[in-house]
Amino acid sequence: MGSNVSSNDTASMMSTKIVIAGGFGAGKTTLVGSVSEIPPVTTEAVMTEASRAHDDTSATPQKVTTTVAMDFGRLTLDRELIMYMFGTPGQARFWFMWDDLVRGAVGAVIVVDSRRLADCFDAVDYFEKNQNIPYVIALNKFDGQLEYTPDEIREALEISPDVPIIDFDARDRRSSGNVLKRLLEYTLSRPKSAELVG
Amino acid sequence: MVQTLVSTADPGTEPPNNLMPESQNIYRLCREARSVAEIAAELKIPLGVTQVLLSDLADQGLVYIHPTITGHSPSENQVLERALRGLERLFQ
Ligand SMILES: Nc1nc2c(ncn2[C@@H]2O[C@H](COP(=O)(O)OP(=O)(O)OP(=O)(O)O)[C@@H](O)[C@H]2O)c(=O)[nH]1
Ligand SMILES: [Mg+2]
């Protein structure tokens, strides 16, 4: 890291983010580690959740604080553009946290362990309902072979027809990098609409 | 947002000593641009607290908050295309 970065260079830097979601042990941390230029950092995020609408009678809004681990990695894409990757637990009970993490993301990768499809139901459901974040499915073939074909997986998980399903090996840098490329290509191919800000 | 980059507005200077120690550390750390998430991890301050300290520093003009690209407006497509070219270079 140069210490003589002029303030002009610094001021023109921009950042962007993608989210890596998926089931327990699916390979999220491995994916981030394969592509990141820094060792993947696992950080504890303390998140505050406004309480959901319960049917309790007290009118006082409650806040719940939870500590969760998230991984992040970094890629310098050109002199002025950095992309961050945020890996996040996939279970529905962390959805409140996804809202924070997903806000402003250019896209998401759902890592799927092809032997345990059910583990990523929650993640797929979340992104199918949040249509403004494009996502791709990255199928981690743990034993070098897929239990299901991509078509079977699309049907089983009720994934929209246009969502790319990509085979990959999370331990392999190029294979993981290819997933990121496909995500950006997909993001760029989607029609843009100004009302999707949010 | 967690990915937002922050830089110290005047990186050659020492932090004002009326700042809290945590804010002084942020000031020093951000002499090179860092993301909010990195600042929180490096200084071991919870993300929510980091965001509050940063917005106070920004209000005082001590740090600069960089733009983030979300890809939700047509004008951001150019930047996403640059991002894609960067990925192609890195992972060809
Ligand atoms: N054989 C094989 N092992 C893999 C592959 N990808 C990941 N692993 C291993 O599977 C285990 C789980 O991977 P992680 O990357 O930690 O998964 P994770 O999604 O971050 O898991 P949690 O954060 O615990 O939910 C690790 O021991 C990895 O080394 C793969 O493609 N093939
Ligand atoms: Mg993990």
Q: Summarize pLDDT for A133-188 with one digit per residue, the tens.
A: 999 999 988 776 667 888 899 999 999 999 999 999 999 999 999 999 999 999 99
Strands A81-87 and B5-8, how do they pair? unpaired
- Which bound ligand lies closest to the C-alpha atom of A21? 1
Confidence (pLDDT) at A36: 94
The larger pLDDT score, comparing residue A101 to residue B33, is at B33
The answer to whether the CB of A34 falls within 8 A of the CB of A180 is: no
Q: 3-state secondary structure string, A18-85?
A: EEEEECCCCCHHHHHHHHCCCCCEEEEEEEEEECCCCCCCCCCCCEEEEEEEEEEEEEEEECCEEEEE
Q: Is A106 in contact with B48 (Cβ distance < 8 A)?
A: no
- Residue B18: Cβ-neighbour burial (10 angstroms; 0-12, 13-18, 19+): exposed
Burial A15-27 (b: 16+ CB within 10 A, else e): bbbbbbbbbeebb
- CA A33 to ligand 2 center in whole angstroms: 10
Cα separation of A23 and B24, whole Å?
Answer: 39
The reported pTM is 0.81
Residue A153 domain flag: yes
Calculate how far, in angstroms, residue A143's C-alpha sits from the geometric centre of ligand 1. Answer: 12
Query: How much of chain A exceeds pLDDT 70, in percent?
Result: 72
Query: What is the CATH number for A143?
Result: 3.40.50.300
Q: Count CB neighbours of A58 within 10 A.
A: 7
Q: Is residue A33 part of a domain?
A: yes
Domain B5-90: state its class.
mainly alpha
Confidence (pLDDT) at A95: 67
Residues A68-81: pLDDT tens digits? Answer: 677 888 999 998 89
Q: What is the pLDDT of residue A45?
A: 58
Q: Chain-wide mean pLDDT for chain A?
A: 79
What residues does each domain of chain B span?
5-90
Q: How many domains is chain A built from?
A: 1
- Per-residue pLDDT averaged across A44-57, rounded? 48
ipTM of the prediction: 0.78
Atom of ligand 1 nearest to the CA of A33: 15
Does the beta carbon of A30 sit less than 6 angstroms from any atom of ligand 1? yes
Domain membership of residue A56 (yes or no) is no
Q: Which of A107, A106, A72 is nearest to A87 (CA)?
A: A72
Structural domain for A151, as ranges: 7-41+70-189
- What span, in angstroms and rounded, lies between the C-alpha atoms of A76 and A160? 31
Residue A64 inside a domain? The answer is no
Tell me whether residue A165 is in a domain: yes
